[in-house]
Amino acid sequence: MATKEPGHLLSGIRNRTGKVILEYVFLNHTRCDILDQTRVVDSEPRSVGDCPIWNINLWNNAEQKDSQEMILKPVAMFENPFFHSPHKLVMCDVWVSMETPSDFNTRVGCTKTMNRLDFDPVTGYCPEKAREPWFGIEQEYYVINDEGIPCSYDPEKFNYDTLVMYNHVGHPHNKNVGLERELSSSHFLACLYAGVKIGGRNRENGPSQWEYQIGPCEGVAIGDHLYMSRYILHRLAETFGVRVSFRPAPLPGVRTIAGGHLNFSTVQMREEGGTRYIMHAIEMLSKSHQQELFKCYDPSPDSENTKRMESQNTEHWIPKVEEFTFGVGLKRSTTVRIPKLVDMDGRGYFEDRRPGSNMDPYAAADVLVRACILGDFL
């Protein structure tokens, strides 16, 4: 199968009307489901501000009533890899009214927190060391079948506690690897086309497991880019006749777990001698109430990310829930890791390895900054 160029079958058709297709992308109360609805406007929006506010009926909202009419406010605009330019993808957040965000709209809180990082001449709080927060997220996922099981999962044949598939090519332990790589490659191209800040990808360790990286993005943009990248992957998976799962423990009990490492830096951490600021942030993080943080790293109602971290045979790969540890280099069981190159350079960023692959990036970025910079959880 040739690499699928992102794009609709008929996308070469000349658009005689000059009208532009906008695919609105938004979340529901789960903060995991991604929904879309498409509309047509008369001309190409120059920026997200040109995209009209819209309304939508959302089911199973937080009040658990059957459905409620909500308002979609466009917050970020991307090129549309499915219809091609000038058509757009429009990330929206969800409001109950023009003034009141929905209770699952974590973007609003995240924006407020990021704004607190600006120097305040009145209180004198938050000096330069906190400026320009950058985030990068390593998004792991599984390619799954209709039953929700990783496509190539075959416990009769393989012992997943001993198999290592990380970074491997042409591997016999996954008959599905060709299709999966095509999906991953198409996703890569589609994200680049859209302007979603994808930075890399790799095959992961589990059966039919892959990873890509988003970032670095400044502030709240990390959420816009990560959710849009998930949307594009779901859409491409439809075309391939498979599904993708961002659940952190799709098959409890076996080593099929998926994380979403959260990488972070401020401008001072990236400048010469930045390690000092990295160490300070990690110290602040270690003194914070870990349970508060951890809650914000997992939007699932049944603490599925905790199951990931407590699962068997994973001591070497994932941190413990209750224990805060940090280290340089390949200590991948640590809570917070400083990459070896960062240690060598004396500047850069650190990663918190606790968020699950299902993380809500707005909530996770928000709580990390509040813990390690603003000290809200001391």
User: Distance of alpha carbon 233 from its chain centroid, rounded?
Assistant: 12
Instruction: Check residue 137 for interaction with ligand ADP (CB under 6 A).
Output: yes
Per partner kind, with CB cut-offs from 5 to 8 A, the member of ligand ADP, Mn ion, none near residue 215 is: ligand ADP
Q: Decide if residue 213 touches ligand ADP (CB under 6 A).
A: yes
| Residue 352 is a binding residue for Mn ion (CB under 5 A) | no
Q: Among Mn ion, ligand ADP, none, what does residue 134 contact (CB within 5–8 Å per kind)?
A: ligand ADP
Q: Hey, which residues between 268 and 297 contact ligand ADP (CB under 6 A)?
A: 270
Which three-class secondary structure state does DSSP give residue 337? Answer: strand
**Residue 211 sits in the site that holds Mn ion (CB under 5 A):** yes
CB of 26 or CB of 264, closer to ligand ADP: 264
Q: CA 289, CA 15: separation in Å to the nearest integer?
A: 55
186: left (phi over 0), alpha (psi -120 to 50) or beta: alpha
Q: Do 25 and 48 meet the contact criterion of CB atoms below 8 Å apart? A: no
Three-state secondary structure call for residue 75: strand
Which residues, in sequence order, are CB contacts of 195 under 8 Å at separation 6+? 78, 79
Fill in the amino acid letter for 19: K
Give yes or no for residue 260 binding ligand ADP (CB under 6 A): no
Q: Among all residues, whose Cβ is closest to ligand ADP?
A: 136
Q: Give residues 116-145 in contact with Mn ion (rule: CB under 5 A).
A: 138
From 18-26, 109-117, 133-141, 238-246, give the range in contact with ligand ADP by CB under 6 A. 133-141
How many residues of this chain interact with Mn ion, rule: CB under 5 A?
3
Q: What is the smallest separation between the CB atom of 163 and Mn ion, expressed in angstroms?
A: 15
The conformation of residue 53, written as its DSSP 8-state character, comes to P
The residue among 211 and 304 lying less far from Mn ion, judged by its C-beta, is 211
**For the chain, where are the alpha helices, taking DSSP H only?**
106-116, 177-194, 221-240, 267-270, 275-287, 290-296, 304-310, 340-345, 361-372
Residues between 253 and 272 that touch Mn ion (CB under 5 A) = 261
Residue 153 is given by DSSP the state -
Which of 124-132, 178-186, 284-292, 344-352 is the region at the interface with ligand ADP (rule: CB under 6 A)?
A: 344-352
Under the binding rule (CB under 6 A), the answer on residue 209 touching ligand ADP is: no
User: Where do contacts with Mn ion occur on this chain (CB under 5 A)?
Assistant: 138, 211, 261
